[in-house]
Amino acid sequence: MILYSVGIITSLIGVVIVIFPFATPETVNWLGLKKAIIAVRTAGFLTIAIGIVICMLPL
């Protein structure tokens, strides 16, 4: 039961990261604004995928 909760919360955090792709100023300076947004959204999609995998573990 706890793994379902952790997986759902992790997936929701990923959704928030994808919707609001805020990168740190250091990342924006390093990559530029467009690439930093792409990097943050990619991290958000990876977080969603990890949350889905965690939800599937008990099965």
Instruction: Name the burial class of residue 15, with classes exposed (0-12), middle (13-18) and buried (19+) by CB atoms within 10 angstroms of its CB.
Output: middle
State the alpha helices, DSSP H only, in 1-59. Answer: 2-19, 25-31, 33-56
pTM of the predicted model, to two decimals?
0.89
Structurally, the chain folds into a number of domains equal to 1
**Confidence band for 58, pLDDT divided at 50, 70 and 90:** confident
Q: pLDDT tens digits for 16-54?
A: 999 999 999 999 999 999 999 999 999 999 999 999 999
Instruction: Look up the domain containing 38 and give its range.
Output: 2-56
